[in-house]
Structure 1
Amino acid sequence: MMEIYTTRKNGTSDTLELCGSAEKGAWINLSSTNDDEIAEISEVTGFPAEYLKAALDEEESPRIESDNGNTLILIDLPEIIADGDDKIYSTIPLGILINEDNIVTVCLRNNVVIDDFRNGRIAGCNTLKRTRFLLQVLYKNSQYFLRYLRSIDRKTNAVEDSLHKSMKNKELIELLGIEKSLVYFSTSLKANEVVLEKIMKFKQIKMYEDDADLLEDVIIENKQAIEMANIYSNILSGMMDAFASIINNNMNRIMKILASVTIILSIPTMIASFFGMNVPLPFQESPMMTVALFLLSLSIAITLGLYMLKKEFI
Structure 2
Amino acid sequence: MFKTNETQMQIHSIRWLKVIDPDQEYITHISTQFSIPRNFIQTALDENASARIQCKQQATLIMTHLPFNTSSKAEQSVSCKSFAVIIKDHLVFIISKHDHPIFDQMIQYVEQGPEHSAEQLADYVYRFLELAADQFIVASKSVNEQISTVEHELLSSIKNKQVFKLLNHNKVLNRIAISLRGNSKVLNLLNDMQVVTGHQAAQHRLLNVMVETDQAQAMAEIHNINLSNLMDAYSAAIENNLSLLVQYLSVYVIIAAIPLGIASLYGMNIPLPLQEQPYALSLLAGLSLLLSVAIVIIFKKRQII
**Structure 1 residue 184, shift from structure 2 partner:** 2.4
Give the paired residue count: 299
CA distance in 1, matches of 2:186, 2:36: 20
Q: Decide whether the 8 Å contact of 2:157 with 2:238 is kept in 1.
A: no
Q: Decide whether the 8 Å contact of 1:61 with 1:74 is kept in 2.
A: yes
Q: Corresponding residue for 1:18? A: none
Instruction: Report whether the alignment pairs 1:40 with 2:44.
Output: no
Instruction: Report whether the alignment pairs 1:228 with 2:232.
Output: no
Q: Corresponding residue for 2:9? A: 5
- Matched residue type, 2:88: N
- Matched residue type, 1:216: L
Consecutive unaligned residues in structure 1, runs of 5 or more: 9-23
CA distance in 2, matches of 1:30, 1:109: 9
Secondary structure of the corresponding residue to residue 119 of structure 1: helix
**Structure 1 residue 58, shift from structure 2 partner:** 1.6
Counterpart of 1:264 (choices 235, 251, 255) is: 255
TM superposition score normalised by structure 2: 0.82
Consecutive unaligned residues in structure 2, runs of 5 or more: none
Q: Corresponding residue for 1:15? A: none
Matches within 5 A, 1:156-171: 156-160=147-151
**Structure 1 residue 28, shift from structure 2 partner:** 2.7
CA distance in 2, matches of 1:2, 1:245: 52
Q: Corresponding residue for 2:140? A: 149
**Structure 1 residue 253, shift from structure 2 partner:** 1.6
CA distance in 1, matches of 2:282, 2:152: 53
Instruction: Report whether the alignment pairs 1:140 with 2:131.
Output: yes
Counterpart of 2:43 (choices 36, 39, 54) is: 54
Deviation readout 1:30-56 (Å, 9 max, x if unpaired) = 112222221111112221111011121
Sequence identity, in percent? 26
CA distance in 1, matches of 2:224, 2:9: 40
Counterpart of 2:178 (choices 180, 183, 187) is: 187
CA distance in 1, matches of 2:287, 2:154: 45
- Matched residue type, 1:147: V
CA distance in 2, matches of 1:92, 1:235: 24
Secondary structure of the corresponding residue to residue 69 of structure 2: strand
Q: Decide whether the 8 Å contact of 2:17 with 2:93 is kept in 1.
A: yes
TM superposition score normalised by structure 1: 0.80
Matches within 5 A, 1:5-24: 5-8=9-12
CA distance in 1, matches of 2:77, 2:114: 32
- Matched residue type, 1:26: R
